[in-house]
Amino acid sequence: RRAGDRRVADDDFLGMIETEVRRDPHNLALREDFVTLLIGSDPDRAAEELAAFEEVGGDPARVSLLRARLMAARLRGSTAGPPTEPTAADRTPAAADRAPVAEPVPVPSAADGRGGVWDAERPAVTLSDVAGLAEVKQHLETTFLAPLRNPAMAAAFGQTPGGSLLMYGPPGCGKTFIAKAIAGDLGASFIHVTIADLVSKWIGDAERAIQSLFRHARSAAPCVIFVDEFDALGGRRTSGGGGSQAMRMMVTQLLEELDGVSSVNDGVYFLAATNRPWDIDPALRRPGRIDRTVLVLPPDATARAAILATNLRGKPADGVDVARVAEATDGFSGADIAHTAKVALQQALTASMASGQVEPVTTEALLAAAAGVTPSTTTWFDEVAPVLEYGVDDGTFDQLRAYRVARGMR
């Protein structure tokens, strides 16, 4: 390949991700992926995006890790010379935040000599560990899990083990946790994939990464592949420049793997999560591919109380009435509730340091913190309103329409 072609491919990929970030600036997972991609190619710009990631509420631990990687990239002089052999940490940037994983199985090297490793874990959680969300769990059970749990019955009706599911809804509402719980219910390995794990500035690398991902999953079957921020990978293939061409190539490769053109996908379960289901390429949603959907809404009162209790566990708390706080946080995402608890804990720490003794978190402090938080789900519901009003709906949004009617939303 010519150097000029590589630079164009680099700009196209980064431009594609940057467009998604600018369109959804509060999508923390996508912002983190964008920073990760920039670290290896443009450290100065990565520093700017890292500052923006921190400003909009990026997790401090992730910020520190990314800052360390940025410093290392600058020390290596990553902007000069050919790319170096990627490490497992570079290949899976979110691995440090996940539960302990099984021993990784090496993936065969790609044609250009670059190898990769996919981390597979065995989740210990199941859907019984998901507090509340009874309607979501019931929908998952009837439309997805029941046939998978009874393979003999499914085989009698010509169904093979495997399946695909798209989860959509506001950000921060637990789609990743539910995906792990599904893998736990199925007794399957779990591979968590983000856009940064797949996208590369080199032409053809993304398609090879998708191939290796499915090859690994087939060898580890039963295995759940979970792709987060799926709209960034499986977005609509539109006519246009090089960025659109790169998108078409990735989606086409994904379609081939889902269809099992070169290999059988028995025992491979493909789960995807997105905040923007209307941006998914229609070819991916046709029958036989990712044709089942479930709406993951903001947590109900039971789930909110459980999330709050989890975030306060082991911390100084003075008989906090979690049910009362849960009632006051109606419409909050799980991330919003975790942020509320974090704010109250920080305030209690400040008070404790001033008084010289432990000042526990109280119900009133949590209620005051909640009053200062604007639910992040509000923006998503505002964004989806015109889609429901003017977009083409194949039935994907039936659950969402019913929810909006029940809550008196226009």
CATH code of 55's domain = 1.25.40
3-class secondary structure per residue, 329-393: CCCCCHHHHHHHHHHHHHHHHHHHHHHCCCCCECHHHHHHHHHCCCCCHHHHHHHHHHHHHHCCC
Backbone angles phi, psi at 89, to 5 degrees: -65, -35
The helix (H) or strand (E) run that includes residue 252 is: helix 242-259
Whether residues 121 and 134 share a domain: the answer is: yes
Q: What CATH number should be reported for the domain holding residue 216? A: 3.40.50.300
405 found inside a domain: no
Give the pLDDT of residue 392.
72
Is residue 189 in some structural domain? yes
Residue 162 shares a structural domain with residue 116: yes
Identify the pLDDT of residue 13.
65
User: How confident is residue 244, by pLDDT bands cut at 50, 70 and 90?
Assistant: low
Check residue 371 and give its pLDDT: 94
Q: Are residues 180 and 220 in the same domain?
A: yes
Domain residues for the domain of 28 are 1-82
Same domain, 22 and 164: no
Look at residues 247, 266, 297 and tell me which one is the last residue of a structural domain: 297
| Polymer length of the chain | 410
Please check whether residues 223 and 102 belong to one and the same domain. yes
> Quick one: pLDDT at residue 237?
63
Is 201 inside any structural domain?
yes
Domain assignment present for 403: no
Both 293 and 309 in one domain: the answer is no
Task: Tell me: do 224 and 151 sit in the same domain.
Answer: yes
Q: How many CB atoms lie within 10 A of CB 15?
A: 13
pLDDT attached to residue 106: 37
* Residue 306: inside a domain: yes
Report which of 192, 191, 268, 281 is spatially closest to residue 232, judged by C-alpha positions.
Answer: 281
Residue 310 belongs to a domain with what CATH number? 1.10.8.60
Q: For residue 310, tell me if it sits in a domain.
A: yes
Residue 204's closest CA among 264, 265, 252? Answer: 252
Which of 297, 318, 338 is the endpoint of a domain? Answer: 297
Tokens describing residue 131: 């507090």
Do residue 151 and residue 53 come from a single domain?
no
Q: How confident is the model at residue 160 (pLDDT cuts 50, 70, 90)?
A: low
Residue 385 lies in a domain: no
* Backbone φ, ψ for residue 310 (5° rounding): -65, -40
Reported as a pLDDT band with limits 50, 70 and 90, residue 306 is very high
pLDDT tens readout for residues 49-83: 888 888 887 777 677 777 777 776 766 553 344 34
Among 48, 82, 116, identify where a domain stops. 82
Asked if residue 317 and residue 226 are part of one domain, the reply reads no
Residue 118 in domain: yes
CA distance between the termini of the chain: 53
Residue 286 amino acid letter: R
Question: Within this chain, do residues 201 and 185 fall inside the same structural domain, yes or no?
Answer: yes
Say yes or no: 252 and 335 in one domain.
no
Looking at the structure, do residues 207 and 313 belong to the same domain, yes or no? no
pLDDT at 168: 92
pTM of the model: 0.67
The number of distinct structural domains making up the chain is 3
pLDDT in tens, 349-378: 999 999 999 999 999 999 999 999 999 899
The residue ranking higher by pLDDT, 42 or 92, is: 42
Q: Are 197 and 92 in contact (CB under 8 A)?
A: yes
